[in-house]
């Protein structure tokens, strides 16, 4: 510290705090939200904490200061967690077996409430899906039962609501021979699945939408301290619901008679308890074949990856890509698999 000026000492103090927060964030996936719900909130900020540590690392290297060692060490300790957000993979491909491609996309009701200044969002999304032409399409926050995509004769949708019906939908080029849902208690969110016959095999594809955050319930007229308390409580309650929902989902996956692929919107990050619970027995396609930042959602300038494709070991992951469409608050993800 003797070789540092006053401002550099202040920066290193901030660096130390951020490094400590990163180490703390590595524990979050192992802590049940029903017990440590407020601590789990840190997982939402893990991407920013990672970016800050990387910036400090390069800052100290550029200054030729040995303080770079702090961020370097914590990033090495958290390398597996780091790969959940920033990843680099090779272009090798598995050649043997059947190949399928899947797109998962939260379409945000096709912008019917004009959240973005974009017309004909449903048509533009349809054109995008037709252009990419995957074998299976999984849509969350889907609301238009008249939505048609070329070359997808097999469709399973489950919609809820009184005035506006919305939910999840699965479109397939291959026959859907069985279908069902995992309905969550006290929630309009759910998971649906389709058993799809491909050649001489059958796979089960889950399309999931875990509990959403409900910031809109906070009254903007109340004082800032009370408002912050309510926001924290809303987030904590959501994490607890997500834990219960993923437990129900795991039971369904365990009882599946065929190979399983899980796609959809977790409404939580790869640094969370629910992600850890799913990735115990399933592979994250982004970690296998993703490149760059895995951002699928931006919330108030916080870059988040909350949309996923998970597969059982029997599937070999050939590619993964996130498309930048800006037609929803989420971005679509695409993967190719061999089995």
pLDDT in tens, 210-221: 999 865 555 556
Topology of 99-338 in CATH?
Deoxyribonuclease I; Chain A (3.60.10)
Q: How far is CA 262 from CA 68, 209, 259, 272, 304, in A?
A: 39, 11, 10, 17, 19
- What residues contact 269, with CB distance under 8 A and at least 6 apart? 43, 44, 46, 47, 84, 275, 304, 305, 306
Task: Write down the domain spans for the chain.
Answer: 6-82, 99-338
Q: DSSP assignment, residue 330? A: B
Block residue for tokens 């040995």: 66
User: For residues 294 and 146, which has the higher predicted lDDT (pLDDT)?
Assistant: 294
pLDDT bucket at 222, cuts 50 / 70 / 90: low
Residue 213 sits at φ, ψ, to 5 deg, of: -75, 155
**Per-residue pLDDT reduced to its tens digit, 277-326:** 999 999 999 999 999 988 999 877 789 999 999 999 999 999 999 999 99
Contact 242, 267 (CB under 8 A): yes
Residues in the chain: 339
Q: How confident is the model at residue 109 (pLDDT cuts 50, 70, 90)?
A: very high
To 10 degrees, what angle do helices 6-25 and 46-62 make? 140
> Residue 337 half-sphere exposure, CB side, CA atoms within 13 Å?
29
Q: Which of 115, 169, 129, 147 is nearest to 325 (CA)?
A: 129
* 101 CB-near residues (< 8 Å, 6+ apart): 134, 135, 136, 334, 335, 336, 337
Beta bridge partners of 160: 166
Q: Does residue 2 register a pLDDT over 70?
A: no
Q: What is the pLDDT of residue 148?
A: 83
- At 232 the pLDDT is 85
The model's pLDDT over 52-62, given as tens digits with 9 standing for 90+, comes to 999 999 999 99
Q: Does residue 195 sit in helix, strand or coil?
A: strand
Predicted confidence (pLDDT) at residue 85 exceeds the cutoff of 80: yes
pLDDT tens string 162-212: 888 999 999 999 999 999 999 999 898 999 999 999 999 999 999 999 999
The more confident residue out of 311 and 223 is 311
Helix (H) or strand (E) holding 228: helix 224-254
Say if residues 89 and 82 touch (Cβ distance below 8 Å): no
Compute the mean pLDDT over every residue in the chain, rounded to the nearest whole number: 92
Query: In angstroms, how far is CA 327 from the centroid of its own chain?
Result: 17
pLDDT band at 70 (very low <50, low <70, confident <90, very high): very high
What distance lies between CA 135 and its chain's CA centroid?
A: 21
């Amino acid at each position: 510290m003797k070789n540092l000026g006053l401002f550099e000492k202040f920066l290193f103090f901030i660096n130390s705090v951020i490094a400590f927060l990163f180490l703390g964030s590595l524990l979050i996936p192992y802590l049940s939200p029903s017990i440590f719900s407020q601590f789990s909130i840190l997982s939402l900020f893990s991407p920013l904490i990672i970016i800050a540590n990387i910036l400090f690392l390069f800052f100290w290297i550029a200054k030729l200061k040995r303080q770079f060692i702090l961020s370097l060490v914590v990033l090495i300790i958290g390398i597996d967690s780091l790969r959940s957000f920033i990843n680099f993979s090779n272009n090798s491909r598995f050649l043997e077996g059947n190949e399928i491609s899947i797109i998962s996309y939260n379409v945000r009701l096709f912008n019917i409430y004009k959240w973005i200044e974009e017309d004909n969002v449903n048509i533009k999304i349809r054109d995008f899906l037709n252009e990419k032409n995957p074998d299976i399409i999984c849509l969350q926050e889907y609301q238009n039962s008249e939505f048609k995509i070329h070359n997808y004769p097999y469709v399973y949708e489950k919609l809820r609501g009184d005035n506006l019906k919305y939910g999840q939908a699965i479109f397939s080029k291959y026959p859907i021979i069985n279908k069902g849902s995992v309905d969550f208690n006290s929630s309009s969110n759910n998971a649906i699945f389709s058993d799809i016959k491909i050649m001489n095999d059958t796979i089960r594809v889950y399309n999931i939408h875990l509990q959403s955050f409900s910031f809109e319930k906070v009254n903007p007229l109340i004082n800032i301290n009370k408002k912050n308390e309510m926001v924290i409580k809303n987030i904590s309650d959501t994490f607890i619901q997500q834990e219960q929902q993923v437990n129900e989902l795991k039971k369904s996956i365990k009882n599946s008679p065929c190979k399983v692929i899980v796609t959809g919107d977790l409404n939580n990050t790869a640094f969370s308890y629910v992600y850890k619970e799913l990735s115990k027995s399933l592979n994250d396609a982004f970690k296998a074949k993703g490149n760059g930042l895995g951002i699928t959602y931006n919330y108030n300038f916080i870059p988040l990856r909350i949309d996923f494709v998970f597969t059982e070991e029997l599937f070999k992951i050939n590619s993964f890509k996130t498309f930048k469409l800006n037609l929803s608050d989420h971005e679509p993800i695409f993967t190719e698999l061999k089995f």
